[in-house]
Structures are given as C-alpha cells and as structure tokens.
Chain A
C-alpha cells in the first residue's frame, strides 16, 4: 500500500458519506478485514467503500491506493 498520507477515511452517517483526510486513527480498534478493488478514481473508491456495511455501523473504512510495481 502507499503511505498513510495518501489515505482517506470513509464513514457513513444517516445515509451521508463523510470523508476525512488521513488514515483511520483509532488503532486500538480492531481492523476487521481488507479488500482490494479496482476503481477509476478516488470518488469511485469512496463510493465502493461507503457500501461496505461497517462504514455505516459506527466503523470506518480506510481507502488507500496500492503501490504498483
């Protein structure tokens, strides 16, 4: 993955998608899972992240670009 500066954290509250700059900071919380997907740009990635149920259940989804070799 690319460095934490490239991260965006996505949460869904009352049906609204909220984004913040930077990684998910509360590292005491458990990281549930990770998944890889293809997205055209960050807006498409945020859209996908907002559909992950955890984002709307008090959790957060951290979106980071992958380093390509």
Chain B
C-alpha cells in the first residue's frame, strides 16, 4: 500500500495540483488542498482500498478540502468561481469531469517574467511534487533560500497577473523554448550525478511529449535526454569521468537508448531540425560503433554558433 501511495503521488501530484490551480486560481490554496488530499488518501486507502481511478478521487477530495478551507476563512464571496461548481461527493466522481491542466501549469511556471532559477524551482515543485527541502538539496542552496524563492515566485504570479494558460500561437514558440530550457536545466543538474533530478527531467519530458505530440523540439529534447541518460552507469568509474571511447558499453541501458532513438525518429518525422533534434541526432550517432564522424561534424556545423560545439568539432 505504501508503494501504491508513493506511485500515486509521483504520477498524480502534478495532475491534481494543476487541476486545483485551474479551479482556484491560487497556487498556495491549491497546494495546501492537494497535500491534504494525499494525506487523506494515506489514511483511507490502507483501510478502504485504493480507488480504481485515483486521479478524480484525489481532485475531488482536494477540491472539497479547498471548499472547506474557504468556508472557514469566510472569503467565499471572493472566490466566486467555486460557487459555480456543484457540491462534490467523494464516492460519486465523474472521471471525465477534470481536464488535464498540466500544460497550463508548466507554461505559467516557466513564464519569462520569472527569473530562470525561480522557473526551475517552481516547475520541480508543482509538476514533480518535490518538497522544498528536496529541491534545496538538489540545487545546493540552503532550504530557507529555496523556500523564499518559491514564495516570491508564487507571489509574483498572483500580484503581477501571470495568466494560467497555454500561450496563444504568436507567443507559443518563444514560450515553449523557455519551457524546454527549464527541463534541460533540470536534466543538466541531474547529469552531474544527482540522479533524482535527471529522472524528474525525463518525467517532465515525457509528459510534455504526451501533451504536445506535434512539436518536434519537445521530442528532440526527450530523445537527447534519454540517449545521454542511457549511458549514465558507464560515465563514471569510482568518481572519475570515463570518456565515451573508453566506456564499458555493457553498462549502457540499451533499452533506454533504443527508446531515445524511437523518440528521435518521431521528431525527424515531424520535420524537426531545431537544436534539440540535432543534438539528439548527434547523441544517437555517438552511441554507434564505429562512429560516423563526417555526419557528426556536419550536424555540429548546423547548430547555432556557440563556443562549445565549435571546439567539439
């Protein structure tokens, strides 16, 4: 049962929180209610069994918690949106009643009016469900600093009126680039050894690929992360970096590398030629033996000019 609860937390936290923020328009209240719902689940599921479909149960329970809380605070009038929602009962839940609003949530968290470090922290907190303490340790900052960063970011979303929505078409490509940059930053933090962040970035990448199936760069980023992460076990020997040519290939996660190549094929089929797709293609070629250097060099040449790829060539 503990395993079921942990799994539900990992799989559902982002969904439930996104639905609650969409409903309430308030990050703090939504977060508190979502936490409350998981606490109730931890108490009831071992006794009554887990619901067949946990997500609507959790969303309805969180919504009830939020309604109770608002009633207690006597600010019902200020939250008029809630009044339009019929009374929820936990045992009669319509599974189709809740939309997936994780995409709205990730675009809000990665809004360019927030500092990059705040975007990263908020994304990991709201979509990944990592605690403030876990995020602080992962990014090597003191917990109060991270707590303040999150409070400030949420305060700005509310005060400055950062909208909870997927950006309109004329803003979408720029904003998507910001979202992908945040996921890549999280992955990079994990690349240095903090595996939980790499796993988190992969989860986010998969969620984005599911939510935006027609965007080649989304698949490009996921493919690149899968291909690099697939070589994780071989990259270090007792704390020392092992160069690609010297790596023990039997330590590579070949299933994951195959998975990365399949995602790359999807990106290429969508005519993706952006920087993430190109880097994923390079990573794929590097996993071959012998390596196709002329093709790697050609792909390197097509990346935007920056010192690192130029020297790698």
Contacts and interface: CB of A to CB of B under 8 A. Distances in A.
A65 interface: yes
Interface string A1-29: 01001111000000010111110000000
B152 A42 contact: no
A45 interface: yes
Is chain A's interface secondary structure helix, strand, loop, or mixed overall? Answer: mixed
Contacts, number: 49
Contact of B115 (A22, A40, A41, A45): A22
A5 B155 contact: yes
A45 B114 CA distance: 15
Interface residues of B, number: 17
A6 B155 contact: yes
A21 B167 CA distance: 18
Q: How large is the interface on A (under 10, 10 to 19, 20 to 34, 35 or more residues)?
A: 20 to 34
Interface string B154-165: 011001111100
A65 B160 contact: yes
A46 B152 CA distance: 20
B102 interface: no
A8 to B, nearest CB: 4
Given A46-B113, A65-B161, A21 B155 contact: no
A43 B163 contact: yes
Contacts of B114: 21
Contact of B118 (A6, A21, A40): A21
Given A2-B159, A63-B160, 13 more contacts: A5-B159, A6-B155, A6-B159, A8-B160, A20-B113, A21-B113, A21-B114, A21-B115, A41-B161, A41-B162, A42-B160, A43-B162, A43-B167
Interface of B: 111-115, 118, 152, 155-156, 159-163, 167, 171, 174
